[in-house]
Chains A and B, each alone.
Chain A
Amino acid sequence: VPKHPSSGKYAIVGLGVIAGHQPDRSERIVGAEAARLAIEDAGLTRKDIGGAIDLRRSGGGGDRASYVDAYSRVLGLKNNFYYITGRGGALAGLGIATAQSFLDRGVADYVCLMGAVSDWSQAQESKKQGHRGMAHAEKRGYWGKSLGDLRAVSHHSWMAARHMAVYGTTSKQLGAISVAQRAWAQLNPEAFMYGRPMTIEDHQNSPLIAEPYHLLDISLVSDGAIAFILTTAERAKDLPKKPVYVLGLGFGEVSAELWWEKKNFTHMAVAPAKEQAFGQAGITVKDVDCAQFYDCFTAEVLFQTEDYGFCKKGEGGAFMEAGNIGPGGTIPVNTSGGLLSCYHLGDLTGMAESVRQIRGDCGTRQIQDCDIVITTGHGGELVSPGMCSIHTCTVLGRNP
């Protein structure tokens, strides 16, 4: 497959991560600090940063974790643009796509992209004040809150349920995903679940939240921020860190079919995103050394593993049970522990891990000869019974 002219022309050259609960810090300063670390990691200073992008989930109607301020103001980034993008858990791919056009036109030489989350701290605050976080009326355009659709798990669990009903997938097979990712987290000192291994029995014995989902099918509630610096491949050559090249960027969208296309409950919008991203990069699924799949719940990992073709549709359950995505498996997935076991900073969790795997910074969990990594994002408006509709695929590589 011939590569797209823009493939390998841009690179991530700096990474900043703030992980773990941040009870005494604002989301704004945590975000600014991640950006400071990313700029430093790139061997740059604030004055080099021509533009800043804030990656926020609020575009997806997930009305948490929003704040009024610009991290570029807090940090003192004097630049040509600052704006907010993102849609639920789809952040990094959208941010990179837009940052590239600013670099292309010379609006900026280096762009800083940052996403911050304070879900854990906000939940603590909310508890202290005696709130249960329930608004009096559901949001405009939302369906189901008055009927008991109260959390993401209220409708996301249908994806697991439908896949089970159609293909005979079992709760234990979903649990194998949690177990595999928890095993990865044992190799990552930064992971929230580091030092806390789990077994399939732990998964099965964890409380049912919204059957078929147990507690251990559900991602973490986290604080933190991740920032990265994007520039042209040309400029990247002169910087201290080994460039992580953007080889492909793909997008899929099914919002126009949410209430009518029944396939959306057993598939994600992977097909077009994969075709675009893999086509641009000139790769096939066999070239992928590890995958950082968006994993708000276990079924999303199952769907994507099938949709990308690591196994056949409907055979994902057995594939998981056989241990294919964990350490030593055929296709390492969510090698940091992912949203399930590392921390939930949207798809930036996966993006940071991808950068580290390509750089070779992953210690005992490092994938040998890691040349190609895919990172996916997933999100959308909360419009039950429709599911999050966007899928993004970013292919990063060690070589341009």
Chain B
Amino acid sequence: VSTQSNVITVSTEWKKSWPNIDEDNSKFYDGLKEHKLLVWRCTKCGSSYWPVAYCQKCDHNEAFAGQMRWEQASGRGKLFAFNRHYMAFSSAYKDEVPYCYAIIELDEGPLISSTIIGDKQPKDVYDVGQTVEVVYEDHPKEGFTLPRFRIVG
């Protein structure tokens, strides 16, 4: 594992569940590989979503939500809520517990979940609202990148 700024490269074999990359989200995962966090934005009203959806605010949507685009987000948000997993529900997580699994409220509005990594961890369940920033976890062997977050303020 090597770390540089907001990128982590993991070269060991991935033994956990693979991410579900399908027709709806393949561009989102492509974005992660390019170290961009994308949100699904309406070109008419500018509202942002994650994951894919028809625009909830516009009365009229184009066929197959055609007016929506994946666009780069700030990659920042606020810690909304989190838990700390003490039990490893799979052997692949044995060395990882305890880990902090959180909901992030992105600056663009949508909620997304992932783990909070790094030394700076919330001190207890009441300690939320901190600014967090995306960290890209590259898995070059497997060919995917996962988003993690770290507390920056």
Chain A, residues 102-123, CB within 8 Å of chain B (1/0): the string is 0000000000000000000000
Bound complex: CA of A18 vs CA of B146, how far in Å?
Answer: 45
Our pick among A141, A142, A144, A165 for the contact of B125 (Cβ within 8 Å) is: A165
Contact A161 B114 (CB under 8 A): no
Given that A165-B125, A260-B56, A265-B81 are known contacts, is A210 also in contact with B113, CB under 8 Å in the complex? no
Q: How far is the CB of A101 from chain B (nearest CB, A)?
A: 30
A164 & B125 in contact (Cβ 8 Å cutoff): yes
A155 with B113: CB separation less than 8 A: yes
Do the beta carbons of A265 and B20 come within 8 Å of each other?
no
Q: A140-B22, A150-B90, A385-B112 are in contact. Are A165 and B128 (CB under 8 A)?
A: yes
Determine the distance from Cα of A151 to Cα of B49 in the docked complex, in whole angstroms.
25
* A147/B87 contact (C-beta < 8 A), A137-B20, A265-B81 known: no
User: In this complex, what residue of B is CB-closest to A212?
Assistant: B125
Q: How many A-B residue pairs have CB under 8 A?
A: 131
Q: Kindly list chain A residues whose C-beta atoms are within 8 Å of the C-beta of B105.
A: 262
Given contacts A207-B87, A385-B111, contact A158 B82 (CB under 8 A): yes
A259 touches B49 (CB 8 A): yes
User: In the complex, what distance in Å separates the CA atom of A168 from the CA atom of B126?
Assistant: 7
Of A137, A155, A260, the residue contacting B18 (CB under 8 A) is A137
- State the CA gap A260–B40 with chains docked (Å): 12
Please tell me if B16 contacts chain A, counting CB pairs below 8 Å: yes
Contact A211 B86 (CB under 8 A): yes
Contact B103 A213 (CB under 8 A): no
- Can you name the residue of chain A whose Cβ is closest to the Cβ of B112? A385
Closest chain B residue to A135, Cβ basis: B17
Judged by a CB distance under 8 angstroms, whether A322 is at the interface is no
4 smallest A-B Cβ distances: which pairs? A385-B113, A150-B89, A162-B81, A211-B84
Apart from the given pairs A146-B17, A155-B113, 14 other A-B contacts in the complex at a CB distance below 8 Å? A134-B17, A141-B22, A154-B83, A158-B83, A161-B81, A207-B86, A207-B87, A209-B87, A210-B84, A260-B111, A262-B80, A265-B81, A265-B103, A385-B112
A-B contact pairs, 28 of them (CB 8 A): A132-B90, A135-B17, A137-B17, A137-B19, A144-B101, A145-B16, A145-B20, A146-B17, A147-B115, A147-B146, A148-B96, A151-B89, A154-B85, A154-B101, A158-B81, A158-B83, A161-B81, A208-B84, A210-B83, A210-B84, A210-B86, A210-B101, A211-B84, A211-B98, A259-B112, A260-B109, A262-B80, A262-B105
The chain A residues found within 8 Å of chain B, CB to CB, are 132, 134-151, 154-155, 157-158, 161-162, 164-165, 168, 207-213, 256-257, 259-260, 262, 265, 384-385
